[in-house]
Structure 1
Amino acid sequence: MSGKLQTISRYMLRQRCVFNSMRSISTAMPILVSHKHHVGRDPLVYRTIGQQLEMTAASHGDVEAIVSCHEGKRYTFKTLLREADALAAGFRKLGLQRGDAIGLWAPNFMHWYLGMMGAARAGLTSVGINPAFQGPEMAYCLNKVNIKAIIAPETFKSQNYYEILREICPEIPDAEPGKIKSQKFPHLQSLIIDSSNDLKGALRFNDLLDLANQSEREEVAKTQRDILPESACNIQFTSGTTGNPKAAVLSHHNFVNNGIHVGNRNQLEGERICVQVPMFHAFGVVITIMAALTKGATMVLPAAGFSPKDSLHAIVNEKCTIIHGTPTMYVDLVNTQKKLQVPLGRIKKAITGGAIVSPQLIKDVRQVLGVETVHSVYGLTESTAVIFQTLPGDGSDMVLNSVGQLQDHVEAKVVDSEGRCVPFGQPGELCVRGYTTMKGYHTDEQKTRETIKDFWLHTGDQFILEENGYGRIVGRLKEMLIRGGENIFPKEIEDFLNAHPQVIEAHVIGVPDERLGEEVCAFVRLEEGMDPASFTAESLKAYSKGKLAHFKVPRYVIPVDAFPRTTSGKIQKFKLAEAFKENYATELKAARA
């Protein structure tokens, strides 16, 4: 064959291969992997919380921003801005500088809300602290993020915040207000207590409002452009498998934009929200506070702590059209309404998150409370708050079978153990990226790198993503359990139990509970000679008082002689769960009844 013919032959063969390849590509079904990017209709904004407050005060100045029923206090957005600037100027008079951390340690009181807004206007970082925390937990928080000032009530129920702080920081009573000097807490300078009493070493909250003069307050507005949207505005403590809470740092950009897009989907313009969730939590601070702020909606606080009776009366008296709560809260609200039969009027939406909603609960919320629609939200602290959410118009089936559709401007993928995307409809770990991702864990670069890889936030949740952008939770890859919306990690409780003088070894699991979703169950191996009957949930509750937050105290305590282990010595917790189900669940349920 001549060279020319060989060239023509090779060309024809090559073209035939290309044609066959193209035909193969065109006839093969494409593999659709679990990856989705939801491009939002409204663009992201570049502003701080303080600037957002100014905008809302300008457009909704006479609208009530917040109503505290239990305190008898009301603020419009206009008066809120004025009080926030008074606080911001007061913080500066105390010597707090931009970037400093200020702890907000309280239930749902007005001073918590004002403290957050004042901190944002001053360029400070507010730190939400669980009001149920006891002395050792508070001490950890103070040093973990170098808190320089604390705002708290004097007391709430049996909790005396001032006395707890005095106990862990004995220098307080001898200090001048704003000049605390402590060896254990070298950064702590100021203690601000919402009380009419003069407490040694503390400044009264109302006195802080009056600390700065008018010109100093006006100066706050001039400095707003100096605070960058990328800068930290809030720290949320979220427990980890190490037993100590991690401190997730969130920015103004995170807060404002998530608030806008949560508010968009929940259609909050002009609505009045019955706030049952704690403000320190992501549900309270972002899904509620920030969404209401960006949409000019009114927040109504029925009580400092969750009270279904007070919630029902607040809905009526304040004409609430939206309810925020965890599934557990709705269970209690429904049961209370069945007894009281309060004439609730029109309620447009019940927004729920923090745990899975049962079909019966959705039915009860609609029938007993008269709620028109139920919306669900899903997210985590590290993702600011919401990354999946119900769309307006979604029916009950969609709420039951998913956590909603991917939030605007968020990208999601579901991966296998090797990091490869699985096909739509198959389970894997949910990873997300976008504006919602936290800045990182405070002073913990290793944990940050473990959680955020190549800009993807690994949620640790086993998840299924559908091609239409809706998703559902299958399970948790992490060991976390959720009790009534509270995130609890067993290691922290295990460490606490292992320090008990009668306990040799303890392991904690979550077990099903009809009302709370999950309850804390502790399996313990006791010292030799100990009577197992003497080590009960009640005795452990008494031992835990003042040492461990009440929601972490195990409801079930089961003594065992030995623990199931792998050949390498690791505890097989799934066998503990099986043992509970087979041997204890029926017995303990009957005992509780």
Structure 2
Amino acid sequence: MLQGGKFLEKAIFQRRWFQTSTHIFTLNLHTVKAHQIDGTNDQSYVQHTGGKPLLYRNIGQHLRLAVEKYPNNEAVLSCHECKRYTYSEVMDKVDRMAAAFYQLGLEKNDRIGIWGPNSTAYYLTLLAVARAGMISVGINPAYQLRELEYALKKVGVKALVASEGFRSQNYYEMLKQLLPELADSPPMKLKSSTVPTLSSIIVDSGTNKLPGTLAFEDLLQLATETGVSQIEALQASISPDSGTSLLFTSGTTGQPKAALLSHFGMVNNGTQAAYRNELDRKQHRICLQVPLFHVFGMVFGSIAALNYGSTLVFPGEGFRASESLMAIAKEKCSIIYGTPTMYVDLLNEYHKMNLKLPVMDIAVIGAAACSPKLITDIQDILGVRAVRASYGMTEVSGGSFICERGDPTEVSLDSVGRLVDHSEVKVVDVEGNTVPFGTPGELWVRSYATILGYWDDNGGTKAAIRADRWLTTGDQFVLRPDGYGKVVGRLKEVIIRGGENIYPKEIEDTLNTHPSILESHCIGVPDERLGEEICAYIRLKDPPEQNLVNLEDVKLFCRGKLAYFKIPKLIRIVQNFPKTTSGKIQKFKLLDMFLSEKKE
């Protein structure tokens, strides 16, 4: 499995490989017979083969083919940086960076963290790490010191590529707090007692030289021509089945788990997203509002764009509706990606701005549930030809359900699209038995795109991915015989706020260190703009009169300890919590209490 922070190549595969003494055979999931819908077998199981075979190639090979087909197409355009690169220019920079990583002393399968908002540096680093046969580690730009430290140590990051900062955060100053040795260390020779594996920090700082770090532009200069040429030769030795990216996702322990995605899963899920979203119809310019550290931005954005030479447009370093609208108008974007919250803000801002938008072909919605009214408003107000919903998760390398080519907006009003090709899904009851079509139950997925596992977490991997390779999603789902489905709820306690997955235990653990708080439990409550908001139910220490706590106290206490989106926006003070006879907190009753307030 994935043990001790080390990647073992024979650990977990998305497909079952059997080796004989002289031959190797593969059992592909698409050979499994689907249930025939004949009126006698109406159970919620669908298997979709599709008309196109899976691609057995790594991301580096996928990029090379894109460059050969579309050398002069713009690959990426960053509005806030005033930078734009063609596919040929991307290829040159990516291979120089990949070669430079070896100059730093890094080796295949080493982990390279990327900490920052959307930028050309992030985009190039993501591809360069894949071309080098190493593993990128997406780190949320809103992370505070404790969260950053956990991420770096969890997967043994050896090099970190970072922006100078994000919003009010100065990353270099934060790194100096975490790594006291940094300022006095020669670049590329950091020896940290806090994060022993970390030896190099590269900062996208322009001409600003920061002690102990290597400037991003200087990294490109490290590569020799011989080293650059060796990167292409290296591609044949990078297995498509090997891991290429680690993304953090919430787990049952409350600490984020690091999901290891493979080249094979990312390339093929990106290819399906590109085809279903009709990227082949013309050279699309995609307004990418979602972050690259998220599977939505990374696979639906960076990887999918390679298939047909599409252009990724970054409106700003972080989401601002006004910047997105200006980017769409100026760069004539034809496709837009976003979470429901982003579209809510776009519509509100559009009414304030005097902008003439181009006619957009498709608006893709993902990462959270979306109301039918919002979908129709996007089409009617922004003038988008079709609004397409999708459903996915980090553990399946992107989307499991994506609207089909040509699906009208009406399809998204009552579904999250159709099952992707070469995949199986079923909906089961609490015993794991399939339920009839149209009946709610937990969605299970078996797919080529399932992650290799959680890094250094065999228990978490086994809990999520059964021995028969069914991934248990924890989402309550309704499936139709034609392969379309919709989410009707969640079995997990994960809060999804504006597309961000938030695990309550992490917040509770922080709140419980407050000197006046005895106990806390957090839930997600309905919010019109964000989908869900965080409400903290708090029990105070006795006597409560001497331990008064209000919302501002809570926000101030959490600042610097939690990312901004994890800080509760609502609190309720209670004397006791509803519990089962065994002492477990009944969080569904807390939600009932909150909803009953709204009715009064």
- TM-score category by the smaller chain? over 0.9
The Cα of 1:533 is off from its aligned counterpart by 9.3
Task: Check whether the contact 1:194–1:206 (CA below 8 A) recurs between aligned residues.
Answer: yes
Q: 1:551 aligns with which of 556, 565, 578?
A: 565
Show CA shifts across 1:456-482 (max 9, x none).
111111111111111111211111111
Task: For 2:510 and 2:115, locate their aligned partners in 1 and report how far apart those are by CA, in whole Å.
Answer: 22
Q: Does structure 2 conserve the Cα–Cα contact (< 8 Å) formed by 1:338 and 1:368?
A: no
Query: What are the equivalent positions in structure 2 for 1:146-545 lying under 5 Å apart?
Result: 146-195=156-205, 196-269=207-280, 270-453=283-466, 454-531=468-545, 534-545=548-559
- The runs of at least 4 consecutive aligned structure 1 residues that moved more than 6 Å come to none
| Deviation readout 1:381-435 (Å, 9 max, x if unpaired) | 0011100011122233320111111001111111111111111111111111121
Report the Cα distance in structure 1 between the residues aligned to 2:106 and 2:599, rounded to whole angstroms: 56
Give the match for residue 13 of structure 1: none
Partners of 1:361 and 1:216 in 2: CA distance: 51
Residue 139 of structure 1: CA displacement? Answer: 0.5
| 1:89 maps to amino acid | A
Cα distance in 1 for partners of 2:211, 2:543 equals 48
Change (3 A) 1:301 1:222: same
Q: With the length of structure 1 as denominator, give the TM-score of the two structures.
A: 0.92
Write the distance in 1 (CA, Å) between the matches of 2:481 and 2:510: 45
Bigger share in helix? 1
Cα shift readout 1:307-340 (whole Å, capped 9, x = no counterpart): 1101111111111000000000000000100111
Q: Which whole-Å CA distance do the structure 1 matches of 2:338 and 2:95 have between them?
A: 30
The CA deviation at 1:60 is: 0.4
2:125 to 115, 118, 121: 115
CA distance in 2, matches of 1:555, 1:260: 39
* Pairing of 1:85-96 with structure 2 (within 5 A): 85-96=95-106
Which amino acid in structure 2 is aligned with residue 298 of structure 1? T
CA offsets per residue over residues 83-120 of structure 1, 9 Å max, x none? 00010011110011000000011001111111111111
Paired residue secondary structure (2:244) = strand
| Structure 2 Cα separation of the partners of residues 315 and 351 of structure 1 | 14
CA distance in 2: counterparts of 1:214 and 1:531, whole angstroms: 71
Kindly report the root-mean-square deviation, in angstroms, between the aligned alpha carbons of the 2 structures.
1.3
* Stretches of structure 2 lacking an aligned partner (at least 5 in a row): 1-37
Q: Once the 2 structures are TM-superposed, how far is the Cα of residue 184 of structure 1 from its aligned partner?
A: 2.2
More divergent stretch after superposition (416-425 vs 327-336) = 416-425
Task: Tell me, in whole angstroms, the C-alpha distance in 1 between the residues paired with 2:452 and 2:147.
Answer: 24
Equivalent AA in structure 1 for residue 271 of structure 2: I
Whole-angstrom distance in 1 between the partners of 2:168 and 2:576: 38
Contact between 1:256 and 1:294, CA under 8 Å: does it hold in 2? no
Are positions 1:582 and 2:596 aligned together? yes
Q: How much does 1:223 deviate?
A: 1.1
Q: Normalising to structure 2: TM-score of the pair? A: 0.91
Q: Compared with structure 1, are the counterparts of its residues 339 and 502 closer, same or farther at alpha carbon in structure 2 (3 Å cutoff)?
A: same
% same residue: 50
Deviation at 1:531, TM superposition (A): 4.4
Aligned residues: 559
Between the aligned partners of 1:547 and 1:126, the Cα distance in structure 2 is: 25
- Partner-residue secondary structure (3-state), 1:197: coil
> In the alignment, is the contact (CA less than 8 A) between 2:516 and 2:547 conserved in 1?
no
The answer to whether the Cα contact below 8 Å between 2:425 and 2:443 also exists between their aligned partners in 1 is yes
C-alpha displacement at 1:29, in angstroms?
A: 5.0
* Bigger mean CA deviation after superposition, 28-37 or 528-537: 528-537
Distance 1:306 1:534 in 2: 36
Q: C-alpha separation between the residues in 2 aligned to 1:488 and 1:536? A: 22
Conserved 8 A contact 1:103-1:151: yes
1:160 corresponds to which letter in structure 2? N
Contact 1:526/1:532, CA 8 A, preserved across alignment = no
